[in-house]
Chains A and B, each alone.
Chain A
């Protein structure tokens, strides 16, 4: 009879956390609460929830350590307190994100109507009791997608080229370029908008339009995408470049066929993170796209709306109905960013699965099922496109 398997790889702890330990934790929480309540509200006459929570937490940690050290030992006490700190940190971060997403989703979904995705604001009347069914934000969705899409279409190639220059080509300009990119990443977003406004709109070279917003967003996301892409290129092992060069590849082929494909998943993540920044930006759009109540699908001419701009407009109105609309808009914006992140994960996934996927896609695009005679069928099954019969 084989021996019973046991679970391994659990973190090494001085002591397991049992029911009694949970009791200790709860007792510490409770007694520190009572202690701090007495001191905070009854003796010192302090007030304020935030100060109370902080004092409670500090008192809890001290009390928890002392009690555990008394009942068990100091090593376990330290382990428990550090665990509590780490768990609190994670819980705070998770809690904030969950709260924002949950709140916006709840408030947004309750006010969401189908016509939001089909109408614009052209039928908006200030005192309309049925305002929610007469207007929509389609013009803002279209605007955001166009503005951000164009910005990304310019920014990603430029960023990749810059990163390749910084990491693969090198040379005299590297330090200057890297300094400039770093400095650019500290640029306040509104400055990017004002910059485009002052050189294009104020000089009467162009009027407010979506493309101006794209230029401002491009300026804004370029440094972030460049830096992330550079980091990703840096972790491509040097051995791969050597292997490629040793096969007789030129430097260009090495970068194009070995370095960039190896860094593909990281580069997709870098690009989509940049796009996610751009989707949520408001300030650069104020002086460039300007905003519009009606649908304008042409990003090269005329004022254009965008989701964050519209959100700002809604929040600033005194009408409660429109403030509710702001939640719905925020939800759509959030959903857009979420879709982008899921896309990033799916496209960026590297491994045999995506390899198989690509191979399958390729065989769909150019099906040439011409297996040679006597070929084992399993090879043909793996990838039909592989079996390109020799052409003379």
Chain B
């Protein structure tokens, strides 16, 4: 509870000591509506600290909606409603004590399409989160270097930090977005199909990045790629929506179990590519 007791950003108090722990994110009985239509029902999921949780399932089953609920991006859609609770390290992010902006700083997000800020240089892109939240930073160069290194981009861009972010290739842009999200030192990083617009080499690079950052930040990743889910995640949640019904979680558990010996037949069919 002490973590959120003050309005001051946590990162500023702890002055970026590397002992920061990854967050424990627990969703309990989450339901979501768009303009009165129920799209997600009764999702309970524990995303443990320092693990990678993959959300898998066919299109339109509410994976992305669930992901956006986890850092309060869901409420930006007009007509969006919610039931249930999401707790970060024991504190309900929807309880009203936390502002949405604070929540999002602790629970970062990487989107499907790379979206670096085109009017900013690579350097400024990485620091944008800190600037937006007015977090005082003494060692900006250090933050830029460490964030880009974590995202596996430092060696490629260290001599062109003042160039615009849009000048990079798609895979590099996505890694820049990851670096940007990591620069504010979130406890959780949400990734919404981060590799779906990228080639295999860039995908492999990002998967490596995920493995490297997993011990300091909890990762939740939505993916349509079964092999990717197996490669990067320790836990897995299988979402499914029957026709004209809201999406539900069919099965959760360790990735090995979900892929090798799932308890539900639908999970078995899906992970073996028999539908979806």
Residues of A within 8 A of B (CB): 237, 239-240, 242-250, 253-254, 257-258, 261-262, 264, 350-352, 355-356, 359, 372, 376, 378-379, 382-383, 386-388, 390-392
Contact = CB atoms under 8 A, between A and B. Distances in A.
Contacts of A378: 159
B138 A359 contact: no
Given A262-B119, A359-B162, A386-B141, A247 B167 contact: no
A244 B108 CA distance: 10
Contacts of B248: none
Interface string B121-143: 10100001101110000111110
A239 B131 contact: no
A297 to B, nearest CB: 38
A355 B162 contact: yes
Contact of B132 (A249, A383, A386, A387): A249
B119 A264 contact: yes
B162 A383 contact: yes
B132 A253 contact: yes
Interface stretch (B21-29, B99-107, B206-214, B227-235): B99-107
A355 B121 contact: yes
Contacts of B138: 390-392
Nearest to A253: B132
B108 A247 contact: yes
A56 to B, nearest CB: 51
Interface of B: 71, 73, 76, 101-106, 108-109, 111, 113, 115, 117-121, 123, 128-129, 131-133, 138-142, 158-164, 167, 177, 180-181, 184
A243 B177 contact: yes
Contacts of A388: 140-141
A351 B106 CA distance: 32
A247 B105 contact: yes
A382 B141 CA distance: 14
A118 B123 CA distance: 49
Contacts of A237: 115
A266 to B, nearest CB: 12
A350 B119 contact: yes
Given A250-B132, A355-B164, A388-B140, 20 more contacts: A237-B115, A243-B117, A245-B101, A246-B104, A247-B104, A247-B105, A247-B128, A247-B129, A247-B133, A248-B102, A248-B132, A253-B132, A257-B128, A262-B119, A355-B163, A356-B162, A372-B141, A376-B158, A379-B159, A388-B141
A383 B144 CA distance: 15
A117 B132 CA distance: 48
Contact of B121 (A249, A264, A359, A392): A359
A248 B184 contact: yes
A247 B159 contact: no
Given A351-B164, A352-B167, A382-B159, A248 B101 contact: yes
A237 B111 CA distance: 13
Given A352-B167, A355-B163, A379 B117 contact: no
B104 A261 contact: no
A365 to B, nearest CB: 16
30 contacts: A239-B111, A240-B117, A242-B73, A242-B111, A243-B177, A243-B180, A247-B129, A247-B181, A248-B105, A248-B184, A250-B101, A257-B128, A257-B132, A261-B120, A262-B118, A262-B119, A264-B119, A350-B119, A355-B121, A355-B163, A378-B159, A379-B158, A379-B159, A382-B159, A382-B160, A386-B141, A387-B141, A388-B140, A390-B139, A392-B138
A246 B73 contact: yes
Nearest to A265: B119
Contacts of A390: 138-139, 142
Contacts of A242: 73, 76, 111, 115
B190 to A, nearest CB: 8
B131 A257 contact: yes
A359 B161 CA distance: 11
A248 B123 contact: no
